[in-house]
Amino acid sequence: MRTTLHLRFPGIRSVLLKHFSRIADHRDRERIDHELKDVCMGALAMFCFQDPSLLQFQKRTKAPILGANLLNLWSIESVPSDTQMRTVMDEVDSSELEGLFTTFFRLLQRGKHLEPYRVLGRYYLCVINGGEYFSSDHIGCPFCLRRKVKKKQGGVLQFSQQIVQAAFPYFRLASYMWGSGSGRMDAERGVKGKVLAGSTRRRGLIGNC
């Protein structure tokens, strides 16, 4: 399937810049060295390039040619220091970023990229799983989960953060069918019954579109 223009990198970048520009910046305007949209785009660029640290990413942006290309690629006017980026991003409420999911989901729908993931013609099968992406015995914040873990030195308070991840599996209903005629129809009814029964038990697992 051909990728539509709004889902190529320039289109994605435009959507991100537009969204980040709408986030309220509560800092003192007279003391701002880096616009909030630049900080957000810089944080996303660092995540995409998977630099081992904020400091390493900043060094990358300071390289004469590579740095200029990087800033142009992401439409970033300036990149803050690692300390500044942490300070600014910590003040951005995560709810300010949630709208991006809906925006890109609608773009994928409009471009017909989600059609192969439909189930029974009308639904999307959404698989949800939870995972832990941070834990520490020493570093934590007010939003961290807390738990007591047993170690050699005794009980230790551990801080952690978890994430709920969702994915659309490529579900081939035909792979569950066999035979032809009445046998095929019985198999299809059986699979439909199991899928729909699961959607009743787990609300939200299959969403009507």
- 18-76: per-residue pLDDT in tens? 999 999 898 888 888 889 999 999 888 888 888 778 788 888 888 888 788 888 888 88
Express as a percent the part of the chain with pLDDT over 70.
79
**Residue ranges per domain, the chain?**
5-96, 118-167
State the chain's mean pLDDT as an integer: 79
Q: Give the angle subtended at the CA of 164 by the CAs of 161 and 159, to the nearest 5°.
A: 10
- The yes-or-no verdict on residue 140 having pLDDT over 80 is yes
pLDDT at 206: 39
pLDDT at 175: 47
- The yes-or-no verdict on residue 17 having pLDDT over 90 is yes
Q: Of 96, 81, 94, whose CA–CA distance to 34 is shortest?
A: 81
pLDDT at 146: 93
- The yes-or-no verdict on residue 169 having pLDDT over 90 is no
Contacts for 133 with CB less than 8 Å, ≥ 6 apart: 161, 162, 163
DSSP structural state of residue 125: E
Q: What is the mean pLDDT of residues 123-137?
A: 88
Token digits of residue 165: 């991840």
- Per-residue confidence band for 3, with pLDDT thresholds at 50, 70 and 90: low
Question: Does residue 117 or residue 195 have the better pLDDT?
Answer: 117
Question: Does residue 173 or residue 111 have the better pLDDT?
Answer: 111
Q: What is the mean pLDDT of residues 130-145?
A: 89
Q: What is the mean pLDDT of residues 144-164?
A: 87
